Structure 1
């Protein structure tokens, strides 16, 4: 039986059906983003729905000036800083765990399941648990300060809940399992002969990792970093109960959806999407460059 040529394949009813299904899927996936970006460029008299009332960057200027009492620039900076810290921690911990699991570890299976268990837990439950844990920690710290007579420190003490404590842990419970799974997949097909050759040439374990292993896994490490940042950048549920007093940008955006009734909310959504796409573009470009160099 002769295989279908290009023209015959495109005329096949099955191919047409699959093409229509794929087009509908792409439209469903990217259509909302396209609508938000389009509506964010409405004129000063524009509303939250179509039809468009002119084209301008008016709402981006209003966004830069601030939306009421919400400090968007501060929230944006907090999300960027937290995302970068989460990215760094995810990369370091994932690579170290991948190296450790290359050898047979006692209790390694149980440790693996504990590490990835947060993927199957509802995000809001994890956030509530972390928030409760840190509130109990606050109670213990205050009780100990009172027992030691540290009245000044007790009066100045706020809470252990914060951006780089509870929120960082909450985000790592989401990003770290993805990093671990990627590194396990990479090292499962890694050719150990390169390391053996390096050791035969007199390289130390650190030199072998730095000059042999790391350059080979570098594109995957960049991918882990991209996952770490983007997953942290738009996380809401795990942050809601574990952030403390200062909100990240997604939390501010969620709150603004009930109070802001102008396309400025769409402008903020466009900015967040642009940041995500820029990070992904940089990660893909860096991974491509590292792969060519390798």
Structure 2
């Protein structure tokens, strides 16, 4: 006999369905409206179905160079991903032992999660402007007039913006590494050392393969958090914009479905990265299980 569902089950199921609709409904609407015909507008009902607005997006949206903004966001996201993975793994390894001042260091790193993003961005932007003032004063004192005239600002994509994004991604990476090493069995590493492996060999051939799927997850977090970040970038990027900043600016000037086409493209990139990360993580996990299957 089939078990009858209680009224509470259906109530919670309806609540969950509404929650999913609230979360993903807006994205679905944007994707659908981006495939309208040439006469389409920003609201329903749809007027035809075509790729017209994607072609318009490829041609450019006014003075905004979408291709350049896309490349900047991809470059920044990849840099943030790489640094987040490396620094998080190194920090996770370091925190396996008792560190002097380790608790204070941990709370300093995690504190950036509770700080308002715009405040972090303003603070980083101010720091780099003060750095500019110091550099210009030093160049003037040293009489390096030619260098001073050619100097612009230290604010940039891979300086201040990179630092701003790392204040957002590193705490997540560190927390994930803590969870990973919390359930990591050190006996594997000790066995490798007993067999004569060097510290590097024990890490590269034993520890890293075991934690590799989770490390891929950290990389995915690093890229996706950087890819759509606006607040921490706004005051710390200098005179260029990432794709999310361009998209935010276009919402007040573009009145055609091409803005939805741009949103669809950015969404597809995010899902591709997540799909690659999940696929690679699953592949590494299967390979690891295959090695230990007799």
TM bucket, shorter chain: over 0.9
**Is 1:196 matched up with 2:212?**
no
Q: Deviations over 1:100-126 (max 9, x none)?
A: 000000110000000111000000000
Determine the C-alpha separation between the residues in 2 that align with 1:142 and 1:28: 51
Determine the C-alpha separation between the residues in 1 that align with 2:204 and 2:127: 39
Which residue of 2 is the match for residue 84 of structure 1? 78
Determine the C-alpha separation between the residues in 2 that align with 1:219 and 1:173: 23
After superposition, the Cα gap between the structure-2 partners of 1:154 and 1:26, relative to the gap in structure 1 and judged at 3 Å, is same
The TM-score with structure 2 as length reference comes to 0.97
Match of 1:75 among 69, 73, 98: 69
Match of 1:95 among 89, 102, 105: 89
Which residue of 2 is the match for residue 127 of structure 1? 121
Which residue of 2 is the match for residue 213 of structure 1? 207
Q: Deviations over 1:72-106 (max 9, x none)?
A: 00000000000000000000000000000000001
Match of 1:63 among 42, 45, 57: 57
CA offset at residue 189 of structure 1?
1.1
**Is 1:167 matched up with 2:161?**
yes
Determine the C-alpha separation between the residues in 1 that align with 2:190 and 2:135: 51
Which residue of 2 is the match for residue 105 of structure 1? 99
Determine the C-alpha separation between the residues in 2 that align with 1:26 and 1:104: 43
Match of 2:181 among 187, 193, 196: 187
Determine the C-alpha separation between the residues in 2 that align with 1:45 and 1:256: 20
The TM-score with structure 1 as length reference comes to 0.97
Which residue of 1 is the match for residue 38 of structure 2? 44
Determine the C-alpha separation between the residues in 2 that align with 1:261 and 1:38: 16
CA offset at residue 6 of structure 1?
4.6
* Deviation beyond 4 Å, 4+ runs, structure 1: none
Q: Deviations over 1:154-183 (max 9, x none)?
A: 110000000000000000000000000000
CA offset at residue 15 of structure 1?
1.1
Determine the C-alpha separation between the residues in 1 that align with 2:90 and 2:278: 23
Q: Which residues of structure 2 form unaligned runs of 5+? A: 289-294
Q: Which residues of structure 1 form unaligned runs of 5+? A: none
Determine the C-alpha separation between the residues in 2 that align with 1:164 and 1:121: 22
Q: Deviations over 1:222-266 (max 9, x none)?
A: 000000000000000000000001100000000000000000000
Which residue of 2 is the match for residue 8 of structure 1? 4
Which residue of 2 is the match for residue 239 of structure 1? 233
SS in 1 for 2:121: helix
Q: Deviations over 1:55-81 (max 9, x none)?
A: 000000000000000000000000000
CA offset at residue 7 of structure 1?
4.2
After superposition, the Cα gap between the structure-2 partners of 1:6 and 1:149, relative to the gap in structure 1 and judged at 3 Å, is farther
RMSD of the TM alignment (CA)? 0.7
